[in-house]
Amino acid sequence: MNRPSISTIVVIICLLIIGLYAMGEVNYFSTKVAVEKTVDVDSPKIIIPSIGVNERINMESLNYGVLSDPGENTPPESPVALYGHRTLQGSPFLRLNELGAGDTFMLEWPGVGELTYKVVDSKIVPATYDFYPEGENATYLITCDPIGSTENRMIVQGELVGKGPVNVQVMQDNPQESNALLISAIFLVVGLIFSFFYPKDNRIYILATVLIISAVLFFCCISPMPSEWIYDKIIFLNGGM
């Protein structure tokens, strides 16, 4: 067997880095699904069809998706602030910048109902901006800006325009349930195709790397670990952001 060339070693390192990011996302979705099937089955949801958001709201951590903070606030009597990542960790608010004045989003809130909000304001402020939700009938959606940075915050404000009964079917849906398996399968398939076209003399090293990483990814689908453990270790790859 030929020794791995310098270029092969570089490719292996790149595969390992990609695998770490994939592992972070696989663990995020696997943990999220496991939590939602137990203690969070009655947690509220935010639905923004225009940008593909269908997420449960938790009162614990951004690492579980969309966070309500302060968690004790209940709409519409109290203003609610909902925070979500825009990079990795599922990126629930990745396309939040696409919401403009007049657009709508919904909250399915058990014990309250289906609340429809119209966007009335959207602004970008420094990360040091002292923000606290205020005003009745208001809900704020908050994420980082620009993508991949924590330099600024994007704040989208919605005002209540309608209220009805909770949509039971929407509350039961979980469109992200298979995301962890999907990410693992994509990594495996793309990795196998890449290995097939790699030069024969070093192909075995690439194939072995792909299979090992894929095995770890599929294992994480079954037995996830907190995704923040992984991202805390590789944060320097994002410039410390």
Judged by average pLDDT, the poorest of 12-26, 27-41, 57-71, 102-116 is 27-41
Indicate whether 46 and 29 sit together in one domain.
Answer: no
Which comes out higher in pLDDT, residue 9 or 237?
9
DSSP 8-state class, residue 61: -
Q: How much is the average pLDDT of 138-158?
A: 90
Q: pTM higher than 0.75, yes or no?
A: yes
How confident is the model at residue 12, as a pLDDT?
Answer: 95
Provide the number of structural domains found in the chain: 2
pLDDT at 239 over 50: no
Indicate whether 160 and 46 sit together in one domain.
Answer: yes
How confident is the model at residue 118, as a pLDDT?
Answer: 95
Indicate whether 25 and 82 sit together in one domain.
Answer: no
Q: How much is the average pLDDT of 42-52?
A: 88
Residue 1 lies in a domain: no
Indicate whether 132 and 194 sit together in one domain.
Answer: no
Helices (H) and strands (E) in the chain, counts: 5, 8
Indicate whether 13 and 73 sit together in one domain.
Answer: no
**What range defines the domain where residue 219 resides?**
6-33+177-238
How confident is the model at residue 188, as a pLDDT?
Answer: 96
Boundary (domain end) residue, out of 111, 141, 167: 167
Judged by average pLDDT, the poorest of 2-11, 41-50, 91-100 is 41-50
**Long-range pairs for 127-134: beta carbons < 8 A, 24 or more residues apart:** 127/151, 127/152, 127/153, 129/153, 131/81, 131/155, 132/81, 133/70, 133/73, 133/79, 133/80, 133/81, 134/79
